[in-house]
Structure 1
Amino acid sequence: MNKFNRSTLLIVLLTLLTVYSFFSVALAEENLGRWATKQSMTTSRYGLKVVELNGKIYAIGGFETDFLNTVEEYDPATDTWTTKTSMPTGRYLLSLTKVNNKIYAIGGVGGAKSVEEYDSAIDTWTTKASMSTGRNNLFVAEMNNKIYAIGGGASDTPKNLVEEFTLDSLSICNKPTNLKAVAGDKEVGLSWDEVEDADSYIIKRSETEGGPYTIIEEDITGLSYTDRTVDNGTTYYYVVSAVIDSDESDDSNEASATPEGSSSGSGDKAILRITMQNGKINEYDLLMNDVEDFIDWFEDRA
C-alpha cells in the first residue's frame, strides 16, 4: 500500500471514529433523565433493604406471606440476579450497612435485636452480638470501625435510643496487597506483599470473577504459593487473607490467570522464580529464549 493510500485510510478511520463517538454520546444524552426496566428480582417482597457492595446490589430480607431471610445479588453489568446464602434470621423493615467489605443486617420485624454479618467473598453469614433493645425501621451509620444504631420503633412505639457496636478486631487487620497471579502449564503462581505481624496466609480461589471463593490452602507462612490443582484453559480468580493472632483479615485484591500448556509441546516456556533478599518471591511466565537471555545477563554480571 503506497503512502497516499495509507493517508487516505487513516483519514477514513478517524472520520468513522469521530462519527461513532458522536453517535454514542448522542445516545447517552438521549437516555438521560429516563427510567429503564431491568431484570426483576426472583422473589417478590416488601419491607426489604438493599445495599451496594463491590459493584453488586444486594436485596435482603422482606415480607411476602411471612418474614423472609432471602438474599439476592444483582449484577448491573449483566442485568442478572443470583440467589445467595439466606440470612439466619428472616425479617423485614431491617437496616443494612456495609463495613470493610461486609454487610451487616440489624434489627427489623422478626429480627428484633439480632445483628448478622454477611461476607460476600465466601457467601456466608455470621451471627454477631445482639443489640440491647429490639427495634425496626431504625437507621444505622458506620464511623471509625463502629456501627451506630439510631432510633426506630418496637410495638408501634418510637424509640430515641442510640447504641454503638464495635466491630471485631478481625475487621481492622491489614489485608494483603499487590496480589499477582502468573499462569504456567497446569499451574498458577501467586505472590503478594507482606502484612506486618501476620502469622500465616489463606489462599482462596474461584472460577467466577468476584467469587464466592473456596479456601484451597491455609497456614501459608511465605509470600508466594503455586496452585497445581488447576486445568489448562480455565480462568481462575484468587484472593489472599492474612491471619494475625487467630483473626483473619479482609481479602486482598483479586488476581486472575489462565494456565495453558506449551503451544509447541517442546517446553518452550518456563516460570522464572526470583527470591529477593527480603524473602519475597517474584514469578514470571517467560519464553525460554527470554529465560536464556536473563541467565546470560546474570552470568555476565558475575
Structure 2
Amino acid sequence: MKQQARLIEKWNTPSSAVDHAVGIFNGTVTANAIRVKADYDVSVGLFDSTGKAILPTYWYTVKANQADGRLIYLPTTYKGIAKVNLFNYSNTRTVSVSEFQLYNITPPANPLDLEASADESSIGLAWNEVTTATSYTIKRSTTANGPYTTVATGVTKVNYTDSDVTPGTTYYYVVTGVNPVGESVNSNEASAIIESNGQVDPEPEQPTTPEPEEPTTPEQPEEPSTNRAISVVTMTTGLEKEFDLSMKEVNDFIDWYEAKQAGSGKASYAINKHDNNKGPFKSRKDYILFDRVLAFEVSEY
C-alpha cells in the first residue's frame, strides 16, 4: 500500500533558511520504502508524534544518482511516523525536490498459472507476472506436493528453462515471488517429463528374391475428406513434433499462435496427444512454448 506525505507549503525555520522542509501526516503511518526526485543529495528524517527520531542514524541520505524516482527500500519497516523532514546538507547550492513518497510494501503475491512443458532435453516453465515481485525463485521435486528443492533464485523473467533433468523422471515445480520485504507463498504446482531415449530396432533385411509384380488396379475415386490433418510443429531446436488432430484443433492452435504473436494470450499451448496416449495415463498433453516454435505444417486428409 502506498502512503504519501503531505508537505507543508512553508519552511519551519526563518524565511532566510532554505535547508529543510517538513511534511506532517494526519495521524501516523508505516513505511519501509521511499521514492525521491531531486536534483541533488537529499537527507530524510522520520519522527514520531513527540518529535523523536525514528531512524537509528537520524538521517537517511538519498544520493543524487538515486534521487531519480526509483523505489528505495529502507533498512527495515518503521512504524508510528508522524513527521518527515527533508534536509539539504549542501552549503553551496539550493536543492529542488519535485517528488517525495513513503511506501509500506508487503511481500509479493504468489505467481499464478504456472505451466511446464518438456522437449527432448529440458523442461520449460512459464507463469504470470507479479507486479510487486523484483525476482522469482524456482523450486522442484520428484514427488507431487514436495518437499521442494530450490534450483534457481534471482530470476527476473516470467519464464525459466531447467536443463538439469533426467529423461524418464517426472519433475514437479512451484515458483515464488520475491522482493526486499519477503517471499510469497508457492504458486500452483506444474509437472513435466522428458521421454526416455529408447533404441530403435534395426529394419529387417529385405528378401533377395524378387517379388512377383502386383497386377495394376484401376485408380480408386478420391476419398472424401475426414476433416482431420497431420500437423507437424518444428521447434527452434530442430525437433519435429507430429500430431494427428481434427481441423478444429488445428485451427485453435493457429488462433493461439497468431494471438500470441500479436501480443496477447498465454506463453504455452497444450496439444492433446489422443491415440498417442500410451501408458497408464488418463490423458497426455504436449505443451508448446510460443518462443520455441520455428514453423508448423498442416496436411489435411
**What TM bracket, shorter-length normalisation?**
0.3 to 0.5
Q: How does the TM-score come out when normalised to structure 2?
A: 0.35
RCO (CA 8 Å, sep 6+): is it higher in 1 or 2? Answer: 2
* Greater per-residue strand proportion: 2
Rg: which structure is higher?
2
Instruction: State TM-score, norm by structure 1.
Output: 0.35
